[in-house]
Amino acid sequence: MQERGAASGLTLVHTAVRGRVRVRVPGLKGAGRLKRALESVLSGTQAVQLATGSVATGTLLVVFDDRADVATICQAVEKALLRYRAGDLGAGPARRDRTPWHALPVDQALSRLRSSMTGLETRSIAGRLKRFGENILPSIPGRDRLEIFVEQFQSLPVALLIGAAALSVMTGGAADAIVVLSVVALNAGIGFATETHADRAVRALSKPLSGGVPVIRQGKSEVIAVESAVPGDVLELRPGAIVAADARVVAAQGLMVNEATLTGESAPVRKSPEPLSARNVALADRSNIVYRGTVVTGGSGRAVVVATGADTEIGMVQGFLETATAPDTPLQRQLDRLGRQLTLLAGGACALVFLVGLLRGFGPFTTFKNAIALAVAAVPEGLPTLATTTLALGVREMRKRHVLVRRLDAVETLASVRVICLDKTGTLTFNRMSVAEASCGGGVYSLIGGAAAERDRHPPPDVKKLGEIVALCNEAGLKDQADASATEAALLAFAEDIGIDAARLRHDHPIERIAYRTERQMFMITLHGARGGQRLAAVKGSPESVLRLCDRMLIGSDEVMLTDDMRRRVEQENDRLAGAGQRVLGAAYRSVRRDAADPELDGYVFAGLVGLADPLRPGVGALLTELRRAGISPVMITGDQKATAAAIARQLDMGDGELRIVDSDALANGWSHGNLQEVPHVFARVTPGQKLEIVKALQAAGHVVAMTGDGVNDSPALKAADIGVAMGRSGSEAAREVAHIVLEDDNLQSLAPAIERGRATQANIRRAIRYLLATNMSEILLMLLAPAANLGQPLTPAQLLWINLVTDVAPALALGVEPPHKDMMQAPPALPQQGIVDRRSAGPLAREGGLIAAGAFGAYAYGCARYGVSPRARGVCFTSLVTGQLLHALTCRSQTHGFASSALPPNHTLSAVIAASIVLQSAAMVFPPLRRLLGLTPIGPADLGVALIGALAPFAANEAAKRAASRAERASAPAPR
Q: Say how far apart CA 75 and CA 782 lie, in whole Å.
A: 58
Does residue 664 contact residue 684 with C-beta atoms inside 8 Å? yes
Does residue 289 contact residue 466 with C-beta atoms inside 8 Å? no
Does residue 512 contact residue 527 with C-beta atoms inside 8 Å? yes
Identify any residues that bridge with 14 across adjacent strands, giving them in sequence order: 22
Check 176, 423, 497, 943 and give the catalytic one: 423
Q: Say how far apart CA 955 and CA 542 lie, in whole Å.
A: 77
Q: Say how far apart CA 812 and CA 808 lie, in whole Å.
A: 6
DSSP class of residue 830?
P
Task: Report residue 828: phi and psi, to 5°.
Answer: -65, 160
Identify any residues that bridge with 295 across adjacent strands, giving them in sequence order: 242, 258
**Maximum CA extent, the chain:** 123
Give one DSSP letter per residue of 208-243, joined into a string.
---S-EEEEETTEEEEE-GGG--TT-EEEE-TTPBP
Count other C-beta atoms under 10 Å from residue 679's C-beta. 16
Q: Say how far apart CA 85 and CA 602 lie, in whole Å.
A: 55
Q: Is 416 helix (H, G, I), strand (E, B) or coil?
A: coil
Identify any residues that bridge with 236 across adjacent strands, giving them in sequence order: 302
Q: Which long-range contacts (CB under 8 A, 24 or more apart) does 488-494 make?
A: 488/298, 489/432, 489/433, 490/432, 490/433, 490/434, 490/435, 490/450, 490/612, 491/435, 491/540, 491/585, 491/610, 491/612, 493/434, 493/435, 493/450, 494/434, 494/435, 494/438, 494/447, 494/467, 494/470, 494/610
Q: Is 423 a catalytic residue?
A: yes
Q: Say how far apart CA 608 and CA 622 lie, in whole Å.
A: 33
Q: Where are the alpha helices (DSSP H) in 498-587?
A: 502-508, 543-548, 564-579
Q: Say how far apart CA 758 and CA 413 lie, in whole Å.
A: 7
Does residue 395 contact residue 769 with C-beta atoms inside 8 Å? no
Q: Say how far apart CA 472 and CA 492 lie, in whole Å.
A: 9
477 alpha carbon, distance to own chain's centre: 36
Q: Is 975 helix (H, G, I), strand (E, B) or coil?
A: coil
Q: Say how far apart CA 773 and CA 333 lie, in whole Å.
A: 17
865 alpha carbon, distance to own chain's centre: 63
- Point out the residues that are catalytic: 423
